[in-house]
Structure 1
Amino acid sequence: MRRRDVAALSRSGRWRGAFRGLTASAAVLVLCAVPQAEGHAAPKPTAKQLRAELARLQKRSESMIAEYYTGRVALQKAEKAEKAAAGELRRAQTDFDQAAREVRTLAAQRYRTGIPGTLPVLMSAGDPADLLNQMALMQQIMEGRDARLNGFAQVKDTYQRTKASAEQRAKELRDSLRKLGEQKKRTLELIDTIKDRIDRLYPTPGTRRADGSWVPQLPSGPDNITPRMRLVRQLVAQRFSPHFGIGCYRVDGGIAGGGEHPLGRACDFMMSSGGSMPSAGNVKLGDEVAAWAIENKDRLGVKYVIWRQRINTGSGWRGMSNRGGVTANHYDHVHISVY
């Protein structure tokens, strides 16, 4: 294995730095996120303070994720170099075995003839000068074989030492990646905790009846949606940052059939440009938006969620009839309706 490949695996300082920094940030967030003991309650953080802490944590998380993937690339390169070195060793081993067989044959024949450096096929009753030339040639061949064997033995020893060192570096790197992956998971959980706390700083507009149901609201403002729908739109935008826009009020939507866009009680959170299927990453984002809306259904007054030709009113997903298109079947957007 090349020296630079082995050296690339030994840069563990950055990993330790990432762990120390992230641990410190996690400790701060735990103090913010976990309620204090009664009698020693810390002041509740404001939305501005929580967003500032969230921004710092997200920045650190992005840096850590970049380190994680950089480490994976380095590990893949090291494993590739180790595999190539193993192939070179196999080829060299073949040459070594061939050379060893030739030397053993020469040694056996030399032993049978009793004449050092000669073979029966070289023995003749010819000119003594020719015999001496043949003996010298044989000696040269033997010396070449010996040098070849000795040289390969050194190469093999060096390879074995390098391989052992590389395996140790690779193990250390894999351990670092595992720890970093665990730390990343904890950090993402803390990010969700902070986002939840930000969400809960905003009371849901409107009133509830004695039985817990929500009193319907009228749309208002230039966007023609209800205050309750406006809050849901704001929280989704802050928490998930959908890239393809949010559409809410529109004059069509089938009031007679129960459509709620014209009533200002529904928004579509786009996961692709209209009419096209979302990428795998945006399907995952849509799943997260839908799950969040359902989880917060009672608190935010969510009536139902439609996503990927399914509807959920709080009692599980049910399939819907085919309406004939990507948008009509809600494959490119998450639809959220409120009471």
Structure 2
Amino acid sequence: MPHTTTPHHAPAPRKGRARLAVLLAVTLLLGLVNGFAGQSAAWADPGDEGGTPALREKLETASKGYIDAKNALAKSVKRQKQLDKQLKEIEAELAERTGNVREIAAAAYRTGRATTASLLLDSGSPDGFLKRAGMLDILAANEDRHLQELRETQDRQSRARAEIDGEITEQRKQVTVMAKRKDQAEAALAEARTAATQSATYAGPGASSASARPAPRNPDGSWPSESCSLSDPTTSGCITPRTLHALQQAQDAGFTRYVSCYRNEGSGEHPQGRACDFAAQRNGFGGVAGGADKTYGDNLSSYFIGNADRLGVLYVIWYRQIWLPSSGWMGYSGGNGDPSSDHTNHVHLSVY
């Protein structure tokens, strides 16, 4: 019986194995490169915030002017309430003093107005003369005191009423300023928008019930002037104390996704340390936000708007809309059609 051998597979040539290894390495390398590139693009900060430097300057001026007038109005209303309370107290005091003087006048009418000389002549004795003279002095002093107190109270009433009238005049002035600033902001936006955008109707998105801790104010209720004096925890730049406060309050409220504040190029509030960009997506600034990412941006913008007075919000931009203290939500487009300038991938916050 002839000898047979069991067939077996010969090992693959070394040249084929080498080509396979190179192919795998190239594939892996390309995957890593694409992954890093995608991550870099996602985390890259937005460039131009959209709109022109002139538009941003107009919006900043109008919003600041509106907030200043609103604070002045609130201060005047508070002062008027204090004056109204003082006036009521003065009028109660005036009624009491008027009653005292009337009682004195009624008593003099009932007893008749005897002259000082006749009262002294009827004294009957030197001792009686001295006693009556002393009583006359006391009565005269008492009458003079009541009359003087009445006159002083009447003067205080007149001054309080004049101050109240002054506060009412101040309030009318500030209401006029607020209306003017509102018109300025809306005119600037109308000039920058297209006809199609102008005809659209906008409504505020999102909902948030969280209350921020108020930022420090001046004793008169106005916002103190602040410089870019604190280290920005999101970049290597600087931000103002009020910007840092708004950032920390938002993070405490649960809005903890990627943020970038200071940016030294361009115009607007970023180079001044008074603005932050809050990414809507978890991995940073990417494409147009949708689904849960859109909801995150809606809720974040709503949080800032609900706490605008506490945080000193100048304006908020989100999803082709801008919120102004004077006008609420209005259409806003950067004009470049990309997610950054249209603010469809991040919420922009500017503070006073």
Could you say whether these structures have the same fold, taking a TM-score greater than 0.5 normalized by the shorter chain as the test? no
TM-score (norm 2): 0.41
More contact order relative to length (CA 8 Å, sep ≥ 6): 2
